[in-house]
Amino acid sequence: MKKNKLLSLITALTFAFIIFGCQAGEDNRNYYEDQNSDTSYLNVDEHKNDEDHDETDNDHDEDHDDEHKDDEDHDGHDHDDEHKDDEDHDDEHKDDEDHDETDNDHEAENDENGHKDESIVSYEDYLSSIDNIVDPTNISWPRTIIINDKEIVISQKPERLATISLGHDEILFGITDSTQIVATTSFAQEEGSNIQVKSEGLPTISSDPETIIAQDPDIVFADPYASPELIDALEDFGIVVIQTQLNNSIDGRKNDVWLMSYITGNLVNAKYLVEKIDNNIQSLEKLITDQQNTKMKVITLSWWDAYWTAGSGSTEDSIIKLAGAINLSAENDVESNSTIDKELLISMDPEIILITQSVQWGGNDFYNDLLADDSLSSIQAIKNGYVYMVNPNWWGTLSYWNIKGSEQLAKILYDLEKIEGFRDF
């Protein structure tokens, strides 16, 4: 009996011990899970943050892509809004189309990276009238031109340009800048020059070949009057020299721009510049049509030991005509820039006299002497106070800048402060 009670007691104790052990194991498991559940939560949060970061990066990448793609947007709405904003922006500027369309066309010719791409536009119509260009349909490299009956092959876009002619300086700065131009004439950087600011700080060169060679240019532009010895010295050193005669007619001015831009690889800029030239010419022509006044009789005058005036075929002649006046010297059979005597000056009896001589070279003194000369007092221009000092940098240059001379004269003729539609270069 005692034995049975002992066995029952042992069995009960064993069962209780098992139950206690199981409960302890359950408690330990719960504690472990509780402790690790925080860690797991943190890990989940960190992973979630990583996902959020990745999503942010993806959104950023998609936003970046949206800047370059017109037909994609991650959210489906933001892009439409941005596109709408662009349309609104275009609408805001629609009233300025007269001035901005040219700029927009110019910008449209840039490639997707913002670089100017000549291949986007056909230039054959512009280049076909220039005899120097062998193949006006070719706007890739190499390009071939004929100068002074000599064929010149330009293998690639030149990186270093220089000129020994002020007119060429002015044209170059109309189609490119100091990233390609390595030197200019000293005249380009003189006070009051049309391109003084643009050329400031660049090395200046002269007819001394050593000053030119030191700048290591690929191409040097020169006028036809450059000395053969200079040309030979530069060519012997491997420098390509291109001599061109700059023109003073309207079409000639534009052809000069096109030829130099073809040689230097700046056709896109040339198109923009020529459009501005055409715009300014049209503004002057419209002004003249609207005025319907009798054309004034004008002469240019300067003094270099004699009276000098500009006749037919001169740069000044084209400037006067474009402004809507009569070049009285040309009407009296004066050709080019020539001297005249006092008797002819008096007999021509101009209504307006333009002093084209610079102040630095005695222009103001000549102006005062002219007004003080009693023998000239009967001339209409002197009697009525219509003698004007004009900007010699516009009247003596062989580049498109002489259109500014026409603007200046038109303001004098029609008593204007501003010519509608005329834009600065």
Q: pLDDT tens digits, residue range 62-111?
A: 444 444 444 444 343 344 444 444 444 444 444 444 444 444 344 344 44
Q: Which DSSP category does 51 fall into?
A: H
Tens-digit pLDDT profile for residues 187-214: 999 999 999 999 999 999 999 999 999 9
Q: Domain containing 325 — which CATH number?
A: 3.40.50.1980
Does 164 reside within a domain?
Answer: yes
Do residues 270 and 122 both lie within one domain?
yes
The range of the structural domain enclosing residue 407 comes to: 293-414
**Which of 208, 243, 276 delimits the end of a domain?**
276
> pLDDT value at position 402?
96
- The residues of the chain scoring below 50 in pLDDT are 1-7, 9-115
pLDDT of residue 339: 98
Supply the pLDDT for residue 112.
37
Q: Is the peptide bond before 142 cis (omega within 30 degrees of 0)?
A: yes
SS (HEC) of 326-358: EEHHHHCCCECEEEECHHHHHHHCCCEEEECCC
My answer on whether 202 and 313 are in the same domain is: no
Q: What is the pLDDT of residue 237?
A: 97
- Tell me if 5 is assigned to some domain: no
For every residue of 114-175, DSSP letters joined together read S-B-GGGS--HHHHTT-TTBS-TT--SSSEEEEETTEEEEE-S--S-EEESSHHHHHHHHHH
258 in the same domain as 161: yes
Q: Confirm whether 43 is domain-assigned.
A: no
Whether 126 and 272 map to the same domain: the answer is: yes
Predicted local distance difference test score (pLDDT) of residue 366: 98
Token pair of 14, please? 């064993």
Q: State how far the Cα of 38 lies from the Cα of 20, in Å rounded to an integer.
A: 28
CA–CA separation, 137 vs 373, rounded Å?
Answer: 59
The answer on 359 and 311 residing in a single domain is yes
Q: CA 212 to CA 91: how far, in whole Å?
A: 51
**261 and 126 in a common domain:** yes
From the list 202, 209, 208, the residue with the least C-alpha distance to 187 is 202
For residue 387, which of 415, 360, 356 has the smallest C-alpha distance?
356
Q: Which among 345, 314, 342, 344 is positioned nearest to 330, based on CA atoms?
A: 314
Residue at 113 is within a domain: no
